[in-house]
Structures are given as structure tokens and as C-alpha cells.
Amino acid sequence: MTITYEWRGGFDNADVNALHAEGFGHRVLDVDFDDELRPFYFEACGFRPTPAGLIAL
């Protein structure tokens, strides 16, 4: 069996959001942080909030 990979061209934030929603079975989100996923971000992933509202990776 041969696997062929192709670059799909331009890829922006809307594309990432659509793929993430499809891959994880949820609605398309238009922001990076969604309050309903707070337990996942902070408990499962161990992220911590920052004063600017950013998550240090």
C-alpha cells in the first residue's frame, strides 16, 4: 500500500477551528478558550491562567 501526502495550501485559524471541531466532535469554536472546556484546560492539561488571560505553554 502506498500513502500519498499532499499539502492543501493556505491554512488559517478558521480551518484549524473546523478541523478541531470535526476531530473532537464538538461545534466550531471562534475563540481559543471556551469556558465550557475550562476543566479540560486546567485539570486535564494542567494549564494555569495568567494575569493577561493567556495560558503559558
Evaluated on CA atoms 14, 57, 35, 53, the torsion sign reads negative
What is the separation, in whole angstroms, between the first and last Cα of the chain? 38
Look at residue 52 in the predicted model and tell me its pLDDT. 75
Res 7: pLDDT: 82
Residues 4-21 have a mean pLDDT of 87
**pLDDT digit string (tens) for 24-48?**
999 998 777 778 888 998 899 998 8
Q: Which residues of 13-40 are buried (b: 16+ CB within 10 A; e: fewer)?
A: eeeebeeeeeeeeeeeeeeeeeeeeeee
Ranges of beta strands (E only) in 1-57 are none
